[in-house]
A and B are shown apart, each in its own frame.
Chain A
């Protein structure tokens, strides 16, 4: 049951390779308030708006020509971001992106502070609010850093130039003689200074700029490109940060959805009498939706249990038959080509199960109706997409709906959709009061969506000297991201095969790049051994891209790759790869004892162009790597006949403190290259390097995730 747009990457957008499961179509219409109305609300001061130009920018922020739609004319959607400097001196940036722990609230503030030569602490970011911020396709695909950050550099740089013009007028001095520091402009000749606020006083200046604004080159960055702690960290460590699940409105009720017994079930009969008699409990029934709302969250278990619902569900497959199911339902079988030019030939099949995002904050939403106007606070990566879902669910025009994204307890690609928002709004509509719905952990494990499972068949051939002669790679269901090998291979076929997914699936941190790297880099090891070559030398032999070579060399050097094993059960493994603008290589040391794998050390080198915040980059890389340990060694969603069998943290193992290896990160900073995102790609490194190290330790080649040795 595909819930996602299956459009393939658009070849008309150069350099913008979006994964198959990333939601990427913007809605046909967007009824944002006219931006002139919005600008009235801002009061005096200076406003800079960025008009989008390039197709990639427009795609990301939803502007530009929509295929088959009325493209070309200037609409509010053509604005990527805007910045306001108030008469009080307060600097506010408006962006449709959201913060879920990936730290863009800080890194985007750094971009603006850099251009305005001021402190990031002076900059307020209004993020992910459909009434206040520009349309945005979503915080997806590691696109904030390569696309939104440069846009904010541009608007802030344009604001800086406007302020310099104003100051030159007021000081009656040449622009070039003025200096800008710490929120004010100084005329060194007279010693006089004016703050940004004073410069704009009594006026309202608006400018729309295009993409060619003069920004500070990365080599001259003083604030961007440097370490900076999270701007909202104090509010988090004191417990004051309000996530969606922490919000409280006057008169608010607490909600719970009474879930079907299985996927694809329909309601056969319903008895709510007993629940209705509980004091302060309201039951809601609409088609297949059944829910309760109470004045006390502690009553929710009792109220939901008192609802007697019978569901009818069709027979459905199970996780033991998953891989056969995916292969057998593919529309088209692989078309294998012979390769007579290779000396060694290796073929193998790799398997990747469904895994769950398991964000520590399960989905939550607070819905409030005022007449036919609906406001929903919810932790989503796609506030504008959720607004569309709400509009469709309630038959409302989008201008009657406002979606606000509070701080969110992470997403990892798992919070693109709006079902929790829709459910909260349905309960609130029935109750005539605001309702907060926080999904239970079991809801989150069952009724969200999963990282796609996949089967990957690979055939590779190489000459005795280690040169790969052909590479054939067929991926069933995982997706397209990083499906092509980055090595220099004369004959390469890499195909994605759509099939029937028994479970609801969608985006995930790194998404298909994890499955494709696991299969490819495992197979690279198998082929290296068949050719009688050492794995790092084999990769370097076939790597022509200098950026790929650089990360391999950085990781192997730091790891001291090639040294002899020093104890029983020890194994070394490595990998290299590329996705979403980032190059990665990892070397892993582990120990296998009594069939148990313990990862001792991971060295990971990473290059994503010009680094925007080295300390936070390391935090993201370490985090992605640790999350990757779960997918490599523990995680798999088990299911049978429309039910999830392990929907609890006591049954679904995620990485804990005891799993923590020594992690050594080597950053390769390329100030000459545009910055790419880093929240996703580091996760792809773990599984293949661990599989290769397990082989090194035991001689057993594991080709199915999670990697488990028979005890």
Chain B
């Protein structure tokens, strides 16, 4: 089976039942995507499938076949951070950083759908992502900053 991750085609070694999260982390060594709960409750494993955020812990690798998979490692282009990554840096919207990749991927997905979300829309768009350190106010601020910098129009 072949998967296209961050624009690169990879041949994946086994079974269709494997969760995308295990393929990304253990087989492709793309460890920016994290395990947090295994039941789609925390959002730490969020990646984009054809631009839409999904929970890679609950997504069989098979379901990603033929789609464009984007992980946190694929957002940077030519050494330039994606506007959402830059906004997380500028707002210092992180503490331990374990939720950050999932937060950024969910935010990128949100801005693609809604390039200029109001604050309640940001909150409901990120409701499925947990930050146990409680950095929520800065994350909301970062998404607003990214929206102002045309974050929704980036790949």
Asked if A623 and B133 make an inter-chain contact with CB atoms under 8 angstroms apart, the answer reads yes
CB of A351 to closest CB in B, whole Å: 24
Known: A238-B72, A297-B26, A360-B42. A626 touches B36 (CB 8 A): no
Q: Which of A377-412 contact B (CB under 8 A)?
A: 407-410, 412
- B11 contacts the other chain (CB 8 A): no
Q: Which of A651-705 contact B (CB under 8 A)?
A: 654-658, 660, 663
Q: How far is the CA of A424 from the CA of B61 in the complex (A)?
A: 28
Asked if A239 and B136 make an inter-chain contact with CB atoms under 8 angstroms apart, the answer reads no
- B89 contacts the other chain (CB 8 A): yes
* Contact pattern, A 350-367, Cβ under 8 Å of B = 1, otherwise 0: 000000001111100000
Q: Which of B94-133 contact A (CB under 8 A)?
A: 94-101, 104, 122-124, 126-127, 129-133
Asked if B130 and A236 make an inter-chain contact with CB atoms under 8 angstroms apart, the answer reads no
* Contact pattern, B 1-27, Cβ under 8 Å of A = 1, otherwise 0: 000000000000011011100110110
- A127 contacts the other chain (CB 8 A): no
CB of B93 to closest CB in A, whole Å: 9
CB of B140 to closest CB in A, whole Å: 7
Known: A237-B100, A619-B95, A622-B137. A248 touches B29 (CB 8 A): yes
Asked if A245 and B34 make an inter-chain contact with CB atoms under 8 angstroms apart, the answer reads yes
CB of A448 to closest CB in B, whole Å: 14
Which residues on the B side are within 8 Å of A236 (C-beta)?
94, 97, 100
Partner of A234, one of B18, B32, B89, B129: B89
Closest chain A residue to B128 by CB distance? A656
Which residues on the A side are within 8 Å of B58 (C-beta)?
none
Partner of B98, one of A229, A360, A627: A360
- B68 contacts the other chain (CB 8 A): no
- B50 contacts the other chain (CB 8 A): no
Asked if A360 and B39 make an inter-chain contact with CB atoms under 8 angstroms apart, the answer reads no
Partner of A409, one of B89, B98, B104: B98
Number of inter-chain CB pairs below 8 Å: 172
- B56 contacts the other chain (CB 8 A): no
Known: A238-B76, A296-B14. A650 touches B36 (CB 8 A): no
B-contacting 9-mer, from A72-80, A99-107, A305-313, A548-556: A99-107
Q: How far is the CA of A312 from the CA of B103 in the complex (A)?
A: 43
Q: How far is the CA of A649 from the CA of B133 in the complex (A)?
A: 15
* Contact pattern, B 28-54, Cβ under 8 Å of A = 1, otherwise 0: 011111111111011010000000000
Partner of B134, one of A233, A254, A624: A624
The secondary-structure label for the interface of chain A is loop
CB of B23 to closest CB in A, whole Å: 8
CB of A684 to closest CB in B, whole Å: 15
Asked if B81 and A239 make an inter-chain contact with CB atoms under 8 angstroms apart, the answer reads no
Which residues on the A side are within 8 Å of B31 (C-beta)?
239, 242-243, 245-246, 248
- A708 contacts the other chain (CB 8 A): no
Asked if B132 and A650 make an inter-chain contact with CB atoms under 8 angstroms apart, the answer reads no
Known: A237-B81, A409-B96, A624-B134. A361 touches B36 (CB 8 A): yes
Known: A237-B100, A298-B15, A441-B38. A649 touches B29 (CB 8 A): no
Q: How far is the CA of A360 from the CA of B76 in the complex (A)?
A: 25
Q: How far is the CA of A615 from the CA of B90 in the complex (A)?
A: 12
Interface residues on B, range: 35 or more
Asked if A649 and B42 make an inter-chain contact with CB atoms under 8 angstroms apart, the answer reads yes
Asked if B41 and A238 make an inter-chain contact with CB atoms under 8 angstroms apart, the answer reads no
Asked if B36 and A360 make an inter-chain contact with CB atoms under 8 angstroms apart, the answer reads yes
Partner of A623, one of B30, B41, B134: B134
Asked if A654 and B96 make an inter-chain contact with CB atoms under 8 angstroms apart, the answer reads no
Q: How far is the CA of A238 from the CA of B84 in the complex (A)?
A: 11
Interface centre among B38, B39, B137 (most CB of A within 10 A): B137
- B149 contacts the other chain (CB 8 A): no
- A241 contacts the other chain (CB 8 A): yes
Asked if A298 and B19 make an inter-chain contact with CB atoms under 8 angstroms apart, the answer reads yes
- A461 contacts the other chain (CB 8 A): no
- A207 contacts the other chain (CB 8 A): no
Q: How far is the CA of A237 from the CA of B108 in the complex (A)?
A: 13
Which residues on the A side are within 8 Å of B62 (C-beta)?
none
Q: How far is the CA of A102 from the CA of B132 in the complex (A)?
A: 12
Which residues on the A side are within 8 Å of B122 (C-beta)?
657
- A567 contacts the other chain (CB 8 A): no
Which residues on the A side are within 8 Å of B137 (C-beta)?
622, 660, 663
Q: How far is the CA of A186 from the CA of B25 in the complex (A)?
A: 50
Which residues on the A side are within 8 Å of B73 (C-beta)?
238-240
Q: How far is the CA of A472 from the CA of B76 in the complex (A)?
A: 60
- A139 contacts the other chain (CB 8 A): no
Q: How far is the CA of A236 from the CA of B71 in the complex (A)?
A: 13
Asked if B135 and A656 make an inter-chain contact with CB atoms under 8 angstroms apart, the answer reads no
Asked if B38 and A627 make an inter-chain contact with CB atoms under 8 angstroms apart, the answer reads no
Q: How far is the CA of A619 from the CA of B141 in the complex (A)?
A: 13
Which residues on the A side are within 8 Å of B101 (C-beta)?
239
Closest chain B residue to A662 by CB distance? B137
- A230 contacts the other chain (CB 8 A): yes
Q: Which of A601-642 contact B (CB under 8 A)?
A: 615-616, 619-620, 622-627
Asked if B131 and A360 make an inter-chain contact with CB atoms under 8 angstroms apart, the answer reads yes
Which residues on the B side are within 8 Å of A409 (C-beta)?
34, 96-98
Which residues on the A side are within 8 Å of B23 (C-beta)?
298
CB of B95 to closest CB in A, whole Å: 4
Asked if A102 and B95 make an inter-chain contact with CB atoms under 8 angstroms apart, the answer reads yes
Asked if B72 and A657 make an inter-chain contact with CB atoms under 8 angstroms apart, the answer reads no
Asked if A656 and B81 make an inter-chain contact with CB atoms under 8 angstroms apart, the answer reads no
Partner of A101, one of B41, B42, B96, B136: B96
* Contact pattern, A 593-605, Cβ under 8 Å of B = 1, otherwise 0: 0000000000000
- A259 contacts the other chain (CB 8 A): no
Closest chain B residue to A106 by CB distance? B92
Which residues on the A side are within 8 Å of B92 (C-beta)?
229-230, 233, 615-616, 619
CB of B84 to closest CB in A, whole Å: 9
Partner of A440, one of B38, B75, B88, B99: B38
Q: Which of B70-90 contact A (CB under 8 A)?
A: 71-73, 75-76, 81, 85, 88-89
Asked if B39 and A650 make an inter-chain contact with CB atoms under 8 angstroms apart, the answer reads yes
Asked if B35 and A298 make an inter-chain contact with CB atoms under 8 angstroms apart, the answer reads no
Q: How far is the CA of A101 from the CA of B92 in the complex (A)?
A: 12
Which residues on the B side are within 8 Å of A361 (C-beta)?
34, 36, 96, 98
Asked if B34 and A233 make an inter-chain contact with CB atoms under 8 angstroms apart, the answer reads no
Which residues on the A side are within 8 Å of B38 (C-beta)?
440-441
Q: Which residues of A contact B (CB under 8 A)?
A: 100-103, 229-230, 232-234, 236-243, 245-246, 248, 254, 296-298, 358-362, 407-410, 412, 438, 440-441, 615-616, 619-620, 622-627, 648-650, 654-658, 660, 663
- Can you add 12 more A-B contacts, CB < 8 Å, to A238-B81, A239-B101, A298-B19? A101-B133, A233-B94, A245-B31, A245-B35, A359-B98, A360-B34, A360-B36, A360-B98, A409-B97, A627-B132, A649-B37, A660-B140
4 smallest beta-carbon distances between A and B, as pairs: A239-B32, A101-B96, A626-B134, A409-B98
List 17 A–B pairs whose Cβ atoms lie within 8 Å, in order of A's numbering: A100-B96, A234-B89, A237-B94, A239-B71, A243-B31, A245-B31, A358-B132, A360-B36, A361-B98, A409-B97, A410-B95, A410-B96, A649-B41, A657-B123, A660-B136, A660-B137, A663-B137
Q: Which residues of B contact A (CB under 8 A)?
A: 14-15, 17-19, 22-23, 25-26, 29-39, 41-42, 44, 71-73, 75-76, 81, 85, 88-89, 92, 94-101, 104, 122-124, 126-127, 129-138, 140
